[in-house]
Structures are given as structure tokens and as C-alpha cells.
Amino acid sequence: MKIYSVSDPEFKPYGQVLEGYDTAELIAAMEAIPLPAEGVSYEPGIASLEACAVFADFRDRGYGGMPIQLGMCWGRNTKLNCLEYHRDSEINLGAGDFILLLAKQDEIVDGVLDTAKVKAFRVPAGVPVEVYATTLHYAPCHTDAPAGFRVAVVLPRGTNTEKPAFEPKSAEDGWMTARNKWLLAHPESAEAASGAHIGLSGVNVDIAEAL
């Protein structure tokens, strides 16, 4: 699989690079959190990250003053497994280089997305990127296995917490797995085995050989 850069024109339909954010303090706080022994961890909001000065900048400049949360996804990963989307943009920032596997919401057909539509984008360390609301994404991938990845995740407060209780009235309602989180799972994924909507067809993309 070809790995593009977020500075390439191919990234424009999926998101944009953000400028004017001082991320040094945040990166230091992220690096103080140990990697999991295996796999990937995610926390929607982490107090030590939200205490960083850039939190207010993300809130006021990035989200126009809306309440936000600043958490992290970290560990080691090279596979797609699933794709998700929210009703808003997500801001990501890596302590080191990392790779995002992305597709577009309008490429979903009858509840299923062909993984041949997925593109890979490398994000340089310390560079914040906005991933648009219409961009499908999931866990980042590392560029170096021993180092793993640490990626800050900025979203409206409450996202990825407990799923609201309601009576489903559309097919899309059945894709929701958490608050403000709609998920398409590959049949081979643990999420599919746990009952998530199987919404990815084709190969479960693995970028290991491209690294």
C-alpha cells in the first residue's frame, strides 16, 4: 500500500494540517504515559493532557469554544480492523510519526465500505491534523514497532463514552457503538466478534510490509 504524507494533495479530501499550536508541553505529557504491554489503549480524556496549555487553544481555536476532551490512543498497530466516524472533526497529534488509514463516508454503499477505498497517510511528529467529520478513521498505526505510537485525540466532550439508550429507527442507528461514534467493522476484527456492524468488505488492510 502506498503511504502518502498529510502534506500531499491527496490528503485534502480527508483533512488539513493545523498551524499555530504550541505542542511541546503536550508531547512531553504524552511521552510520560507508558505504552501498553501489547495492542492499543484509548482513553477519551486524560487529566495530565487536559492540564496542558494547548488544551485551551484546541477548545477555542480548534472547536470555536465548544466543550472538548483531550485523550490519547497509544500502543502498536499495523491493521485497519474497523473504521469509525463522528458528527464532527477530530484533531490528532503524534508524539512521534504515525500513520492514519482513512476513507470517506460517501464511499459507504448500503452499509458497507470496500477496503480498496482506504488510503494511508503519514503524519509527522508534533504536527496537529484535523480529520474531517466525513472522514472514516480508526486506531493509528505505528511507523516503528519498538517505539509504538502515542496520538492525542481531541473531540467534543462526551464522544466515545457510554452509548445513549434509544430505539433504533434506521440502519445507521445500528452502527453506533458509543456516544457520537458510528463503527464499521471488518469480519476478522475483535469488534465484529463482539457484535459490531460488519461494514467493511475486502482485505483487512495491514501496512506492516509497507513500513
For residue range 59-105, list pLDDT tens digits in order: 999 999 999 999 999 999 999 999 999 999 999 999 999 999 999 99
136 — pLDDT class (breaks 50, 70, 90):
very high
Partners of 147 in beta bridges: none
Could you tell me what percent of the chain has a pLDDT over 90? 99
d(CA 170, CA 112): 15
Predicted pLDDT at 57: 98
For residue range 9-32, list pLDDT tens digits in order: 999 999 999 999 999 999 999 999
d(CA 126, CA 66): 23
Single out the residue of 39, 56, 29, 134 nearest to residue 90, CA to CA: 134
36-58 burial, b at 16+ Cβ within 10 Å, e below that, comes to eeeebbebbbbeebbebebbebb
Supply 93's cell numbers. Answer: 497529534
134 — pLDDT class (breaks 50, 70, 90):
very high
Q: What is the DSSP letter of 2?
A: -
CATH architecture, domain defined by 3-210: Sandwich (2.60)
**pTM (2 d.p.):** 0.97
